[in-house]
Amino acid sequence: MSEERKEKITSKSDPEVVGIEVLKKSGLDVDKLIEKLVRATAAEFTTYYYYTILRMHLTGMDGEGLKEIAEDARLEDRLHFELMTQRLYELGGNLPKDMREVANVSACSDPYLLENWKDSKNILKVLLEAEQCAIRTWNEVCEMTHGKDPRTYDLAQRILQEEIEHEAWFLELLYGRPSGHFRRSYPGEGPLSRKTRTG
């Protein structure tokens, strides 16, 4: 073993992280990516929280038929949060220590319950806007990482694909624009974002 290698292995300084070094070599601004991922991941968590409230208010005859679809979008946002949180820490980043900060740094504005929530269409419009912000955000992550960081790109594109589906679902409900939607196999399945047992 070379002296240099021995030195690296026995040194008490920060460990070598080859998974990050290769990204820097490929020209990726890792700090900028981490900042972007913190904001994007925070948005998934806040959206999951606010969607819980929105789903609770899909009531009455109209609301009943919308609950399931809102529940899928809500649970899949939680999967998105979990999927990218792991990557964030691999990259040397971290979530804000204080949960209050999570809402402050979120990449998307909070999908609040409106005063006139009894009209389900108003809730659907809030849901649609949140999905559209998520698409823009994850698309930016894909653009930043394409050809430079295969792992982050793979995770971000899986999330992006589900966000595009979510947008299409709410567009269909609001405007009758066909989306090809059919119910998930089980609530919040996350066909692309659910981690496998080994993943």
Applying CB under 5 A, which residues contact Fe ion?
44, 73, 77, 80, 131, 134, 163, 166
Q: How far is the CB of 44 from Fe ion (least distance, A)?
A: 5
Q: How far is the CB of 13 from Fe ion (least distance, A)?
A: 38
166 is in an annotated binding site: yes
44 is in an annotated binding site: yes
SS percent in the chain: helix, strand, coil, step 5: 65, 0, 35
Q: How far is the CB of 26 from Fe ion (least distance, A)?
A: 27
Of residues 177, 144, 136, 180, the one with CA closest to residue 160: 136
Q: Return the number of the residue (30 or 83) whose C-beta is nearest Fe ion.
A: 83
Distance of CA 67 to the CA centre of its chain: 21
Q: Return the number of the residue (44 or 149) whose C-beta is nearest Fe ion.
A: 44
101 is in an annotated binding site: no
131 is in an annotated binding site: yes
If you count DSSP H runs as helices and E runs as strands, how many of each does the chain have, helices first?
8, 0
- Read off φ and ψ for residue 147, nearest 5 degrees: 75, 0
Give the residue numbers of the binding site: 44, 80, 131, 163, 166
